[in-house]
Amino acid sequence: MRHLQLPSLKDLYLLVVGDVMLDRYWHGATRRVSPEAPVPVVDVEHTEDCPGGAANVAVNVKSLGAGSTLLGCVGDDAPGGALKRKLDASGVCEDFIVSPDASTTLKLRVVSRQQQLLRTDFEKPTSPYLARRLAMQVPGQLEDANALIIADYDKGAVGDPAVLIEAARRANVPVVVDPKAKPFRAYAGATVLKPNEREFAAATGKCRNESELGERAVALCEELDIGALVVTHGAGGMSVATGEGYHHLPARPVEVFDVTGAGDTAAAVFGITSALGWPALDGARFANIAASIAVSKAGTAAVSGPELALAASQGSLSDRGILSREQLALAAKAAAANGEKLVFTNGCFDILHAGHVRYLEEARALGDRLIVAVNDDASVARLKGEGRPVNGLDRRLRVLAGLESVDWVVAFDEDTPDSLLELLRPHVLAKGGDYEPHEVVGADLVRSYGGKVRVLGHVEDCSTTAILEQMKNSGTTG
- Type of residue at 103: S
The answer to whether the beta carbons of residues 48 and 25 sit under 8 Å apart is yes
Using the Cα atoms of residue 143, residue 144, residue 148 and residue 150 in order, give the sign of their dihedral: negative
- Collapsing DSSP to helix, strand or coil, 180 comes out as coil
CA–CA distance, 466 with 262 (Å, rounded to integer): 43
CA–CA distance, 153 with 195 (Å, rounded to integer): 11
Q: Is 264 a catalytic residue?
A: yes
CA–CA distance, 119 with 26 (Å, rounded to integer): 10
Distance of CA 18 to the CA centre of its chain: 22
What is the H or E stretch that residue 220 is in? helix 210-224
For residue 253, cis peptide bond before it (omega within 30 degrees of 0):
no
Q: What 8-state DSSP symbol labels residue 235?
A: G
Calculate the alpha carbon distances from 146 to 60, 179, 191 in Å. Answer: 16, 20, 13
Q: What 8-state DSSP symbol labels residue 252?
A: P
**What is the Cβ-side half-sphere exposure of residue 181, based on CA atoms within 13 angstroms?**
6
Sequence-distant (6+) residues with CB within 8 A of 147 are 12, 14, 15, 173, 174, 175, 176, 271, 272, 274, 275
Rg of the chain taking only CA atoms, in angstroms: 25
Burial class (CB in 10 A: 0-12, 13-18, 19+), 217: buried
The answer to whether the beta carbons of residues 227 and 221 sit under 8 Å apart is yes
- Collapsing DSSP to helix, strand or coil, 378 comes out as helix
Beta strands 73-75 and 342-347: pairing type?
unpaired
Sequence-distant (6+) residues with CB within 8 A of 405 are 357, 360, 361, 363, 364, 370
Angle CA 66–156–290, to nearest 5: 30
Selecting among 264, 319, 350, 377, the annotated active-site residue is: 264
Would you name the residues annotated as active-site residues? Answer: 264
